[in-house]
Amino acid sequence: MIDGVTRLLDGLTATQATVVVLVLSLGAALAVEMVVIRGAARLVRRTDTEFDNIVVRNVRWPLVISVALAGIYVLTRTPAVVESTLVTAEQLDTFFGKPSVAVVIVVWAWALNNLVNEGVEEVKERGDRFDFAPVFSNVWTLVVAVGTVAGLLRLYDIDITPLLGAAGVAGIAVGFAAKDTVANFFGGIALYFDDTYKLGDYIVLDSGEAGTVVEVGIRSTTLLTRDEVLVTVPNSALNAAKIVNESAPQRRRRIRVPISVAYGTDVDAFEELVVEIAEAQSLVLDSPKPRMRFRRFGDSALEYELLCWVASPTRRARATHELNREIYKRLTERGIEIPYPKRDLTVVNSDSTGSDPAATPSSPFAGDPEDVSDPERLPGETDGGRD
């Protein structure tokens, strides 16, 4: 395209070519601002999403600057202009052509970085599900910075091959030195894409830790336990662990309250009473309705289980406590027995002499005293012989 424009300017003098190019470039920049940008801004104001507004707002100045600087770059390639200047074509390109392209690269890099960062902030406001999105913003900023530096070095014909080799060696060294940090970083990304949990979820780990997710970072995730203790878990460990998210797909949770009653209890009245207690408890949800289940015939009791639901997993312990208290009081009032293990102990009295011959263990030396062996007696030797 640039070669085609320069060919159109071949028949003009240096002054005429300069005026034509500057007028065209500035006019095009003004047209982009007045027509394209403002027209697009009016259109995106009618939409419900904010993302199109972010795009228009961030590409406005890069477009205008790029069109305006395109004229300067074309002038450095126009033969009439190059031949009429006191400097060489290489110097003209070095002081005017390449700087104009460098400004365009930097402006577009800045715009693209802002565009993604503002998009990430907009995504964060849509819910806790996207709280991990700033990680991608940081990665994008790093990629844009590296790409901009590489583009500028390439523009000025600086060989970046040695730099790439050095960067590779440095990357390997950093990777070994910070392997845990890298593992945590990629573990956090995997957790984000898997939608394992989000802020406010109550999770239980296979190692026993349980708590509410209060912070999701690049390196670790912080849990707030029921004892109001903060536990920081590395993302790499979470990525390899079995996680039970008790707040997903919905926050309500079912609780099971085991109850045993004695044989002979009126099971219909007992079941009705316990369900009535559960329905009257404020922590128990009305839907699904509480219900009783007869599980098994125990050794000394009929074993039941009350099934009901609470609004969140953190209310289960409190609801179980209140239900157990009320069930015990109401069963006691109704005279319904809650059986417990019993043991019978039989005591046998000894005789008047204080000894029980039957209980005395037999000795291996019982019998004739003469038959008691002496460990010092030789075989066939008698007591008389020893004397």
Per-residue tokens: 90: 């290489």
Look at 121-130, 136-145, 335-344 and tell me which has the smallest mean pLDDT.
121-130
Looking at the predicted structure, is the pLDDT value of residue 249 above 70? yes
3-state secondary structure of 5: helix
Answer yes or no: is pLDDT of 224 > 50. Answer: yes
The residue with greater pLDDT, 178 or 301, is 301
Higher pLDDT, 59 or 168: 59
Residue 290 near residue 266, CB atoms below 8 Å: no
pLDDT of residue 240: 80
Q: Choose the weakest-confidence range: 150-164, 241-255, 281-295.
A: 150-164
pLDDT tens-digit readout, 348-369:
876 555 555 555 555 444 444 4
3-state secondary structure of 310: strand
Identify whether the C-beta of residue 257 lies closer than 8 Å to the C-beta of residue 324: yes
The mean pLDDT value for 41-46 works out to 81
Across residues 7-11, what is the average pLDDT?
56
pLDDT score of 161 more than 90: no
Q: Which residue has the tokens 């406590």?
A: 321
Q: How far apart are CA 191 and CA 202, in angstroms?
A: 15
Burial of 120 (0-12, 13-18, 19+ CB in 10 A): middle
Note the pLDDT tens digit of each residue in 91-115.
Answer: 666 666 788 888 889 999 999 988 8
More confident residue, 168 or 11: 168
Q: What mean pLDDT, rounded, does the chain reach?
A: 77
Q: How confident is the model at residue 82 (pLDDT cuts 50, 70, 90)?
A: low
- Name the band, by pLDDT with cuts 50, 70 and 90, for residue 387: very low
Q: Where are the alpha helices (DSSP H) in the chain?
A: 2-8, 14-31, 38-44, 51-75, 79-84, 89-92, 98-124, 134-155, 161-177, 179-194, 235-240, 267-280, 316-334, 383-386
Per-residue pLDDT, 36 = 80
With beta carbons less than 8 A apart as the criterion, state whether 309 and 288 touch.
yes
- Residue pair 306/278 in contact (Cβ under 8 Å)? The answer is yes
* Distance, CA of 287 to CA of 238 (rounded, Å): 34
More confident residue, 150 or 341: 150
Least confident window among 18-22, 61-65, 217-221: 18-22
- Is the full-model pTM beyond 0.95? no
Is residue 176 predicted with pLDDT exceeding 80?
no
Nearest to 93 by CA among 105, 75, 117: 75
pLDDT at 370: 46
- Is the pLDDT confidence value at 169 over 80? no
The pLDDT value given to residue 37: 81
Say which residues have a Cβ less than 8 Å from residue 51's Cβ, sequence separation at least 6.
Answer: 119, 122
Is a pLDDT exceeding 90 seen at residue 266?
yes
> Rounded CA gap, 366 and 371, in Å?
9
353 CB-near residues (< 8 Å, 6+ apart): none
pLDDT digits (tens, 9 = 90+) for 186-199: 677 777 667 778 88
pLDDT confidence band for 371 (50 / 70 / 90): very low
Give residue 258's pLDDT.
Answer: 95
The residue that leads in pLDDT, 134 or 61, is: 61
The predicted pLDDT at position 385 comes to 43
21-25, 239-243, 316-320 — which one is most confidently predicted on average? 316-320
pLDDT per residue as tens digits for the range 283-342: 999 999 999 999 999 988 999 999 999 998 889 999 999 999 999 999 999 999 988 877
In terms of average pLDDT, the best of 17-31, 105-119, 267-281 is 267-281
pLDDT recorded at residue 44: 79
pLDDT of residue 269: 93
Pick the residue with more confidence: 49 or 335?
A: 335
- Percent of the chain past pLDDT 90, that is, above it, reads 22
**What does the buried/exposed string (b/e) look like for 224-238 if buried means 16 or more CB atoms within 10 Å of the residue's CB?**
eeeeeeebebbbbeb
pLDDT at 271 over 50: yes
